[in-house]
Amino acid sequence: MEIWINPACSKCRSAVNLLDAEGASYTVRRYLDEVPTEDEIRAVLGRLGLEPWDITRTQETEAKELGLKEWARDESSRDRWIEALARHPKLIQRPIITADDGTAVVARTDEAVRDALGRHG
């Protein structure tokens, strides 16, 4: 299992602490340093069952500068959103845990972290 985190984010630190408390085996990806490629973002979206705008932090300054709130949210705009997330990783919602069974969750609550821990392949 892998967790994408920003160490400055309190929800990320909580998720990591909970994984440690549960004795989980995982790898950490500091996605602002190891920026995901467009293909990696597509793969995670597939595992999450979400669209790129579902994992975009639209309140971030960069989102406002790009005018993301006005962007269309449809199939033809999908690549544009994914490209923006790859170029501006700060816009990616966090933390994201990819579970052993091939699924993923946005783990912003303890419940979501426990959900990911329960998904053994």
Q: What confidence tens digit (pLDDT) does each residue in 71-81 have?
A: 999 999 999 99
12 is catalytic: no
pLDDT of 100: 84
Residue 33 has pLDDT above 60, yes or no: yes
The residue with greater pLDDT, 100 or 25, is 25
For 111, counting Cβ atoms within 10 Å of its Cβ (0-12 exposed, 13-18 middle, 19+ buried), the class is exposed
User: How many other β-carbons are positioned within 10 Å of the β-carbon of residue 63?
Assistant: 18
Q: How many CA atoms lie within 13 A of 114 on its CB side?
A: 3
Which pTM does this prediction carry? 0.94
**To the nearest whole percent, how much of the chain has pLDDT over 70?**
98
Alpha helices, H only, the chain:
10-21, 38-48, 61-66, 78-87, 110-117
Query: Residues 3, 4, 6, 9: which is the catalytic one?
Result: 9
